[in-house]
């Protein structure tokens, strides 16, 4: 098998057959064999039924059917695990990313052996200014603190060679932030610009709240800088506290001012309380992640893995 298309699907009942047809027509003259690995990420609509219909077509199709919604990160992991191709492409089900580009990626890997991965990044973002601002700030922040490089606008739409897939699979951490993992494993990645299409049908599964949580996951997974910041904050506060202590003692001894400064005390208690709670929160984020990781729970649970008869060819 030359290529596996890994397609995470969450409530995409109207899109999966459109995707299948698009892939079929774009790959019709490709001249190599490929499979499609659909991961049904606990959809609440008829996605699974629609996927089962695709089992009758003439392309080798696999369906990994999750027991509930585990999120796109888990779906990608499952898809990579079930893929059999020498090359593996991760691509969305909503046709925002054209299968034709995946074919270009394969051709590039064929002709440029020095690369292990071709990754697409969004040339022009089709989103609001506020969201763009937050995304840009996130990339600036994480690149400043993390050792791993995060390429701005890079998507999960990528084609890997098998050794890189195996490297990614060897990292079975529970809190997955793929953009970081893809870069952490190393290998040579070539970034190509692409234009995001409109969603074929349905709406995006990402709300601002989900994106914010995802951004925090990325930061906590790839840098311990927040802990360092907490330490520095503590040191700076302690330094100024000692200075202020000296001032207060001198005031008392030299000028006899003892009970003044009610406002100062209230402000200081509130400020220090706030800083302490923040720092405990930061430590808590890491401890919580450590706690959940130590339970060693699986990244996903699949109810069934279906494979059609086209594999025997």
Q: Which among Mg ion, ligand UDP, none contacts residue 143 (Cβ within 5 to 8 A by kind)?
A: none
Q: Is 156 in the site for Mg ion (CB under 5 A)?
A: no
Q: Is 50 in the site for ligand UDP (CB under 6 A)?
A: no
Q: Which among ligand UDP, Mg ion, none contacts residue 38 (Cβ within 5 to 8 A by kind)?
A: none
Tell me the DSSP string of 182-209. HHHT---EEEEEEPPPPPSSS--S--HH
Find the binder of ligand UDP among 4, 10, 119, 183 (CB under 6 A).
Answer: 10
Distance between CA atoms of residues 62 and 73, nearest Å:
18
Q: Which among ligand UDP, Mg ion, none contacts residue 75 (Cβ within 5 to 8 A by kind)?
A: ligand UDP
Find the binder of ligand UDP among 13, 35, 41, 50 (CB under 6 A).
Answer: 41
| Segment lying near ligand UDP (by CB under 6 A), choices 4-12, 171-179, 185-193, 232-240 | 4-12
Tell me the DSSP string of the chain. --EEEEEEESS-TTHHHHHHHHHHHHTTTS-S-EEEEEEE-S-SSSHHHHHHHGGGSSS-EEEEEESS---HHHHHHHHHHH--SSEEEE--TTSSS-HHHHHHHHHHHHH-TT-SEEEEEESS--S-HHHHHHHHHHHHHHHHH-SS---TTEEEEEEEEHHHHHHHHT---SS--HHHHHHHT---EEEEEEPPPPPSSS--S--HHHHHHHHHHHHHHH--HHHHHHHHHHHHHHHHHHHHHHHHHHIIIII---S--HHHHHHHHHHHHHHHHHHHHHHHHHHHHHHHHHTT--S--EEEEEE-GGGG-
Q: Is 51 in the site for ligand UDP (CB under 6 A)?
A: no
Q: Is 178 in the site for ligand UDP (CB under 6 A)?
A: no
Q: Is 94 in the site for Mg ion (CB under 5 A)?
A: yes
Q: How far is the CB of 18 from ligand UDP (least distance, A)?
A: 12
DSSP state of 296: T
CA dihedral 226→231→235→241, nearest 10 degrees, is 80
Fill in the per-residue mask, 55 to 84: x = in contact with ligand UDP (CB under 6 A), - = not in contact: --------------x-xx--x---------
| Segment lying near Mg ion (by CB under 5 A), choices 87-95, 163-171, 274-282, 294-302 | 87-95
- For ligand UDP, which is the closer residue by CB, 8 or 153? 8
- For ligand UDP, which is the closer residue by CB, 82 or 94? 94
Q: Is 41 in the site for Mg ion (CB under 5 A)?
A: no
- For Mg ion, which is the closer residue by CB, 147 or 198? 198
Q: How far is the CB of 45 from ligand UDP (least distance, A)?
A: 11
Q: Is 96 in the site for Mg ion (CB under 5 A)?
A: yes
Q: Which among ligand UDP, Mg ion, none contacts residue 69 (Cβ within 5 to 8 A by kind)?
A: ligand UDP
Q: How far is the CB of 197 from Mg ion (least distance, A)?
A: 9
Residue with tokens 């990313």: 97
Q: Which residues bind Mg ion (CB under 5 A)?
A: 92, 94, 96
Q: Which residues bind ligand UDP (CB under 6 A)?
A: 8-10, 12, 41, 69, 71-72, 75, 92-94, 96, 204-206
């Amino acid at each position: 098998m030359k290529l596996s298309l890994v397609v995470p699907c969450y409530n995409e009942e109207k899109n999966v057959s459109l995707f299948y047809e698009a892939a079929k027509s774009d790959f019709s003259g490709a001249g190599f064999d490929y499979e499609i690995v659909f991961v049904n990420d606990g959809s609440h609509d008829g996605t699974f039924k629609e996927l089962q219909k695709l089992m009758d077509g003439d392309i080798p199709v696999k369906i990994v059917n999750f027991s509930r919604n585990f999120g796109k990160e888990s779906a990608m992991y499952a898809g990579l695990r079930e893929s059999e191709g020498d090359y593996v492409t991760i691509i969305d089900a909503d046709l925002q990313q054209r299968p034709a580009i995946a074919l270009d990626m394969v051709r590039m890997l064929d002709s440029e052996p020095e690369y292990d991965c071709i990754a697409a990044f969004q040339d022009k973002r089709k989103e609001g200014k506020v969201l763009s601002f937050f995304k840009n700030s996130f990339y600036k922040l994480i690149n400043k603190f993390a050792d791993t490089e995060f390429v701005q606008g890079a998507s999960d739409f990528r084609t890997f060679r098998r050794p890189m897939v195996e490297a990614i699979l060897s990292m079975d951490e529970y809190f997955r932030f793929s953009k970081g993992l893809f870069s952490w494993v190393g290998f040579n990645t070539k970034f190509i610009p692409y234009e995001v299409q409109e969603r074929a049908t349905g709406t995006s599964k990402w709300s601002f709240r989900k994106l914010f949580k995802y951004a925090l996951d990325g930061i906590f997974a790839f840098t311990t800088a927040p802990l360092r910041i907490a330490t520095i904050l503590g040191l700076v506060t302690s330094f100024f506290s000692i200075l202020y202590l000296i001032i207060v003692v001198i005031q008392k001894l030299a000028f006899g001012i003892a009970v003044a400064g009610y406002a100062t005390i209230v402000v200081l208690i509130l400020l220090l309380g706030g800083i302490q709670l923040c720092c405990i929160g930061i430590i808590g984020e890491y401890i919580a992640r450590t706690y959940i990781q130590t339970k060693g729970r699986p990244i996903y649970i699949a109810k069934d893995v279906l494979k059609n008869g086209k594999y025997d060819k």
